[in-house]
Structure 1
Amino acid sequence: MNETLPSPTAHLARAVIDCADTRPVTAREAIYNTQGMKVLDKGAAIHAGLYDRLMAHQLSRPLEDSLAIEGMVDGRAIRQGIEMLLAFEAFYARLVPESTKLDRLLDIIESIPLPQAIALQLTIAREARPALYEHALRSAWLMAWMADEPLRPQFDIAMAAAAGLLHDLGMLHLNPVLTQPKIELTREQRRELYSHPLVSRLLVERHHVYPQEVVRAVMEHHEYLNGSGYPRGLRGRQISLMGQQLALADLVVAMISGHDDGGELRLSVLLRMNMHRYARPLIQRVLAVLDPAQDPRSDSVPVLERPDAVLQDAHRVLQQWPRGCPSCTDLTPARQEGLVAVSGLIDELLRTLAEAGATPEQLAHLDAVDADPLLHKELSLLAREAVWQLRAISRQARRRWAAGRQGQYPDALQTWLDQVEALHQRVHGHLAGSTPADPMPAHH
């Protein structure tokens, strides 16, 4: 790869200025531009008035290398932050109920090496982007739990936790609007967002205290087993084990801590509906510790009037996909290949629904849905996710056919696309304002 370390950006500098509002930030060395001109003296205090000066120069070294903040994040601060979340968030405490094991994992996490520039960026996140910092702490704890297997060396557990702690470091260097929930991103913003695993990788890789396994996992934390992830669209065993763990940890933290509605019930449904994207043994391990009935956020799940009927209709639409499109004209080799790929996605979703117990035959054996509030909520989430995945497949079909601005789809394909859109509108008319699962977890 030919990526180079990102130059200091306006976004990181703005985060530094925001941090300086709460605690002293100083230049720990003289700061020069690439022409050798001094921009700031050693010991200079950073404040809002210096923002334009910093932005007017291409600095000779990354900005995070040259600054210090009073009360920097260290291993002890990370441990205390995790202890705080364990005290208030039942899911994370439930992962490790034994006090001896809990203390051992906290000791391991506290030992993670933090070079000066890494510690500074974590401090900036804590002070100026607290949601990003809290996501890092939760991810570190979850990764330590995932990596804690019999006879596993403590160093390996520490490095898995380090991957969780640092995987989103690149977000500090990107536009903070990208982290705001429920906003419609432009194409350029989405491209910038999709770059953050690469930026994070570069920021971690330049510090040689982290092995390549960590660097690779950081870059892979949005790669999915079925090849639908980014930035490289890796598939199956092309993704490292730590990368698979980190991808799942990212989703779990986003769903457990990034949503006020659903909580563990929402996560349970998403995991069962995404077995094709995440490692099945890891999913089963997380499912084993979920307890939706004890999560008060389950009460806030908006329900569909007849989620079982929606699931039946989704299954019917999937079955009506025009395989091979025998009546289609202009069936070029590329379009034929695209239809085959979409057929594979259709089959994948049908298998997923069967594994989730949501086929028409399985639903017929259920008692009255509205008589069991938790079941009603669970089926509503299942229906919502199934329809979202179905619509994602329909968009893939549109792209694969590539009709163009003025082009038309064959009648059979257009009829199927219209059915998908009608079902999507029907579901989201009942769930106005809600957000389905996305390949990019909600904290981004």
Structure 2
Amino acid sequence: MSVDESLYIKNIAELGETEEVTVSDDVHAENGMKLLAKGTRINRSVLNRLLRHKLVKPIDQTTMINDAINRETLVTAAGALMDNNTEMGRLLRQLRDSNFPQRVFNRVRLLPVVCNKLTVAQRLYEPLFLHSLRVALAASVVGEQLGCSEAELETLATAGLVHDIGALHIEASQLHQSEQLRSEHWRQIYTHPWISHLILEEFQEYTPHISRAVLEHHERMDGSGYPHGLKGSQISRAGRILSFVDFSVATSQKLGLRHMFTIVKIHPRAFEREVVQVLAGIVRNFDEVLQPSVPRIEIGVLRNLMATVSETLSSAPMEIPLTVANPSPQLKTMMGLLQRTVQALTLMVHRIGFELKNVEFSIGRLEGDPVLQTELEVLLHEIHFRLRGLILELHRYRYADENCLKGFDLLQSWIIGTEAKVNRMRELFPDPSESDKAA
């Protein structure tokens, strides 16, 4: 698998419209043609020339961005995160002194290629940049609490900072969070750890430990992650730590750290127990700095969402009918995916203590209990995410074999109906980007 640079080159050219981005060495195409001379400014005017050819070297290896990210700017930006009045800022101030960002980013291995990527993220996709800073800081805290060696802490800090640089190469990462993902976007999301890994493995400074942890940051202990579906000890220690930290930071930005553990309760075998316990201990000791449980969705809306989930799961066709004489491999794969997802989502609901078959009883339990109400919000967010992914995957198999659903009208109608329901559910959730505005 090679890295497609076309979208990233567009990002570089876009940045060049407002900042000085120049070629640090002659840029050649693979056919030997000289495309740009050293010192040429990169902006929209040269974009088509670059996109028409495959470059000999990745664009970052021949690009110089004026006032690019360096260690000092990372420390300053991380210090600002610690100083602000967000949940994570307050927690970090309780745990570490003001020199902590300096210690963390002194450990980070910074090459010009990475500095360029981080600069593009900071200038064009600030939420992505801030997320990377938070993960580097949080991974360092967890690593220190676990007693990791200095070499391991260096791996965690660096991997935390660079784990999402591959997202700059995919369209899906650059959509507004409220926009609807299409099936091709879903596939891109699955590949972004690979892209980050491929970028890093070109440099010995990032191999093997850092690039491996980056590749594994969406793997899960129970095998439910991606891109390889690794399990348990197949994932490196740094990968297991980074996996949970990345999840925790992303979830806490949307829902708060207090409710991140609701999702851990939903998926009890997804993360390494030792790592979860470290963060759980921190949260227990500093409960006063966490956001209180404030429901964001009215009970009437929760009732509608819960009823939609109940009807969707109970109506899912779980067996291939006899009318399908010779089920194709595609259909068998689709049914296996559907069965596993429906069973997993049903179990998730039961783990939190709700009943799909008795929505009114479950909703009645929420009266006067904001903590339980917010737990249900978290659960429904997670179910919506999983259903959306399921539908996109089913569409992918269906498009690969247009005849695979022949004679199975019930599954065809369930897919179409569930897609419509998932889209309606999405409109009922608060805008997830709102939580980043104060951060």
TM-score tier by shorter-chain length is 0.7 to 0.9
Please name the residue that 2:256 is paired with. Answer: 263
Is the counterpart of residue 382 in structure 1 residue 399 in structure 2? no
Match of 1:70 among 59, 66, 73: 66
* Pair 1:196–1:421, CA change in 2 (3 A): closer
Q: Is the 8 A contact 1:292 1:298 kept in 2?
A: no
Cα deviation for residue 201 of structure 1 reads 0.5
Within a 5 Å distance, the mapping from 1:10-409 to structure 2 comes to 10-88=6-84, 89-95=86-92, 97-100=94-97, 103-104=99-100, 106-149=102-145, 151-175=147-171, 178-257=174-253, 259=254, 262-290=255-283, 298-299=293-294, 301-305=296-300, 348-349=344-345, 352-358=348-354, 369-383=366-380, 385=382, 404-408=404-408
Q: Is the 8 A contact 2:20 2:66 kept in 1?
A: yes
**Identity of counterpart residues, as a percentage?**
22
Aligned length: 423
Q: Is the 8 A contact 1:303 1:376 kept in 2?
A: no
Instruction: Out of 349-358 and 268-277, give the one that drifted further.
Output: 349-358
Q: Once the two structures are superposed, what CA deviation does each residue of 1:214-245 show, in whole Å capped at 9, x if it has no partner? A: 21121122223333332223233332232232
Match of 2:427 among 432, 435, 439: 432
* Pair 1:170–1:297, CA change in 2 (3 A): farther
Q: Once the two structures are superposed, what CA deviation does each residue of 1:147-184 show, in whole Å capped at 9, x if it has no partner? A: 21454222211211111111111122223664431323
Letter in 1 for 2:267: N
Cα deviation for residue 60 of structure 1 reads 1.8
Give me the whole-angstrom Cα distance separating, in 1, the residues matched to 2:65 and 2:424.
Answer: 49
Cα deviation for residue 355 of structure 1 reads 4.3
Give me the whole-angstrom Cα distance separating, in 2, the residues matched to 1:24 and 1:53.
Answer: 19
Cα deviation for residue 30 of structure 1 reads 2.2
Q: Is the 8 A contact 1:144 1:157 kept in 2?
A: yes
Where structure 2 has 5 or more consecutive residues not aligned to the other structure, the ranges are none
* Pair 1:321–1:158, CA change in 2 (3 A): same
Q: Is the 8 A contact 2:107 2:157 kept in 1?
A: no
Give me the whole-angstrom Cα distance separating, in 1, the residues matched to 2:241 and 2:332.
Answer: 35
Query: What's the Cα RMSD here?
Result: 4.4
Give me the whole-angstrom Cα distance separating, in 2, the residues matched to 1:293 and 1:313.
Answer: 36
Give me the whole-angstrom Cα distance separating, in 1, the residues matched to 2:362 and 2:423.
Answer: 26
Indicate the SS of the match to 1:371: coil
Q: Is the 8 A contact 1:312 1:359 kept in 2?
A: no
Q: Is the 8 A contact 1:324 1:336 kept in 2?
A: no
Give me the whole-angstrom Cα distance separating, in 2, the residues matched to 1:174 and 1:306.
Answer: 34
Give me the whole-angstrom Cα distance separating, in 2, the residues matched to 1:339 and 1:59.
Answer: 43
Give me the whole-angstrom Cα distance separating, in 2, the residues matched to 1:17 and 1:71.
Answer: 16
* Pair 1:436–1:235, CA change in 2 (3 A): farther
Q: Is the 8 A contact 2:107 2:153 kept in 1?
A: no
Letter in 1 for 2:272: A
Indicate the SS of the match to 1:68: strand
Q: Is the 8 A contact 1:201 1:219 kept in 2?
A: yes
Q: Is the 8 A contact 1:197 1:221 kept in 2?
A: yes
Instruction: Tell me the TM-score normalized by structure 2.
Output: 0.77
Q: Once the two structures are superposed, what CA deviation does each residue of 1:277-308 show, in whole Å capped at 9, x if it has no partner? A: 33343334334445888666853611333969
Cα deviation for residue 341 of structure 1 reads 7.5
Instruction: Out of 293-302 and 213-222, give the one that drifted further.
Output: 293-302
Letter in 2 for 1:267: M
Instruction: Tell me the TM-score normalized by structure 1.
Output: 0.76
Instruction: Out of 266-275 and 317-326, give the one that drifted further.
Output: 317-326
Give me the whole-angstrom Cα distance separating, in 1, the residues matched to 2:167 and 2:373.
Answer: 37
Q: Is the 8 A contact 1:72 1:119 kept in 2?
A: yes
Cα deviation for residue 59 of structure 1 reads 2.2
Q: Is the 8 A contact 1:92 1:142 kept in 2?
A: no
Letter in 1 for 2:279: V
Give me the whole-angstrom Cα distance separating, in 2, the residues matched to 1:39 and 1:395.
Answer: 40
Instruction: Out of 13-22 and 333-342, give the one that drifted further.
Output: 333-342
Cα deviation for residue 190 of structure 1 reads 3.0
Q: Is the 8 A contact 2:303 2:363 kept in 1?
A: no
Q: Is the 8 A contact 2:29 2:56 kept in 1?
A: yes
* Pair 1:385–1:328, CA change in 2 (3 A): farther
Indicate the SS of the match to 1:26: strand
Where structure 1 has 5 or more consecutive residues not aligned to the other structure, the ranges are none
Cα deviation for residue 200 of structure 1 reads 0.7
